[in-house]
Amino acid sequence: MAQILVVDDEIGIRELLSEILADEGHDVRLAENAAAARAAREAARPDLVLLDIWMPDTDGITLLKEWAASGQLTMPVIMMSGHGTIDTAVEATRIGALDFLEKPIALQKLLAAVRKGLTRTTPQAAGGLSLAAFTRSAPLRDLRKRLEQVMASSHTVMLRSAPGGIAELAARTLLSPGKPWFDLAHDSAPLTLDMLERTRGGVLFADELGGLSRLQQKNLIFAAERLAKYDLRLIAATALDAAALSLQGWEDVQLKQIFGVWLGVPTLAELRDEVPEIAAHLLTQSIEAGEVPVRRLSTAALNALRQHSWPQGYEELKSTVKSLALSALEEEISGEDVVRLLDAQGYGNLAPATGIAAELMDLPLREARESFERLYFEHHLRNDGNNMTRLAERTGLERTHLYRKLKDLGLRSGRRDDERLPVEE
């Protein structure tokens, strides 16, 4: 017996399909709109979904995109519509739908489609979260629209982001379902034409141009010259300005030729109110992928995640959510679980000023001054989410002087601390 979810805003169709499928021995759940379908999908994880396209709150195509973007499209979905077109059917199939049934649905076609769906191997969860999963967040919806608008007329885009940005989350929005994702920073072999052919129609990504080796830089340039031929998109991110990139071996002419189009991407500190929803989606995706046991984030846990500044950005949030799911002793992750984990990672509050002052008093003047400056800048970098504009305003330092000061103090930012300085677009 299979569990089938029927999603349709017409009560008569829901009841008719439920009666037919129940007679076939299936356990049928009903949802009258997308909101009810989301809740049913979360609660029961059906073996198959019959999904109407035209619904009053959120249409079926949008809901299908949500499930695909959040890693929840792990079950066969059969689309239904009384006003379907070939274009709609093609789009639904491209997103990940198994079949398309036109209303009124013939009984034999319905049963054949259901049998086909239930005998099909369960689709794999998506490789990564994308902005398409966030339909209620105005900032993330706006960023998605800008990205899609830019990429409609360009094969490349530069994502300008301070450390702590969401470059990967943004870039994965441009990856079509079922197409390859190739991270240039994770491959140290020379790129070949055969590799580009295998990546055809997909996305090439580099999360920090300043962190690429010389070979990886050559790979990026090699691919950039052949994007149209292989129907590829190239998305790269950087927190560095042109001068800092030149120190990493990039030529200004190359960057202008390859990335003439750029777009600003916010940091998680700037998206503080969106962090709970991002975290919840990341947790759901990890559960669907079988990476972690079933867990849920309590309200206190979500609030604790919202209050954190996430200086290392999206990767830090992903790692934290996964670690919480694996280490929590209860199914519900508590606020104390979040605080305990972040404290263990070194993100707790600074020691009281009196304790710091006592330690500094025992140092020579130069060392005491340097230690204080390091603590001072670490404190404000953390609280401002590595936002260099706010840091410059708070400290009263000119940007060039500020970067030099951070370099002298060893406060380079990002995963490759020895290779780049924090720069905000």
* CATH number of the domain residue 297 falls in: 1.10.8
Residue 21: name the closest of 85, 80, 89 by CA: 80
Q: For the chain, give the mean pLDDT.
A: 85
Evaluate the omega torsion of the peptide bond into residue 266 and state whether it is cis, within 30 degrees of 0: no
Residue 57 lies in a domain: yes
Split at pLDDT 50, 70, 90, the class of 150 is very high
Residue 396 lies in a domain: yes
Residue 126 lies in a domain: no
Identify the three-state secondary structure at position 158. Answer: strand
Split at pLDDT 50, 70, 90, the class of 74 is confident
Residue 36: name the closest of 17, 16, 11, 12 by CA: 11
Give the E-state strand segments of 56-114 in sequence order.
77-81, 99-102
Here the tokens at position 144 are 């998605």
Q: Are residues 241 and 173 in the same domain?
A: yes
Sign of the torsion formed by the C-alpha atoms of 324, 329, 333 and 334: negative
Here the tokens at position 175 are 């990856």
Q: 147: phi > 0 → left, psi -120 to 50 → alpha, else beta; which?
A: alpha
CB 198 within 8 A of CB 226: no
Domains of the chain: total: 4
Residue 414 lies in a domain: no
Residue 32 lies in a domain: yes
Q: 346: phi > 0 → left, psi -120 to 50 → alpha, else beta; which?
A: left
pLDDT tens column, 274-292: 999 999 999 988 888 888 9
Q: Are residues 58 and 172 in the same domain?
A: no
Q: Are residues 106 and 136 in the same domain?
A: no
Query: 50 is in which domain, residue-wise?
Result: 3-119
CB 132 within 8 A of CB 22: no
Q: Are residues 290 and 383 in the same domain?
A: no
Q: What CATH number corresponds to the domain at position 378?
A: 1.10.10.60
Q: Are residues 327 and 225 in the same domain?
A: no
Interaxial angle between packed helices 299-307 and 275-288, expressed in degrees from 0 to 180 and rounded to the nearest 10: 120
Residue 219 lies in a domain: yes
Q: Are residues 158 and 87 in the same domain?
A: no
Taking the model in full, what pTM does it have?
0.65
CB 175 within 8 A of CB 202: yes
Split at pLDDT 50, 70, 90, the class of 412 is low
- % of residues, the chain, pLDDT over 90: 49
Split at pLDDT 50, 70, 90, the class of 11 is very high
Residue 425 lies in a domain: no
- Which of 320, 344, 368 is the endpoint of a domain? 344
Q: Are residues 224 and 201 in the same domain?
A: yes
Rounded distance, CA 203 to CA 208, Å?
A: 15
- Which of 316, 344, 372 is the endpoint of a domain? 344
pLDDT tens column, 196-253: 999 999 999 998 898 898 899 999 999 999 999 999 999 999 988 888 888 888 888 8
Greater confidence (9 vs 355) lies with 9
Residue 270 lies in a domain: no
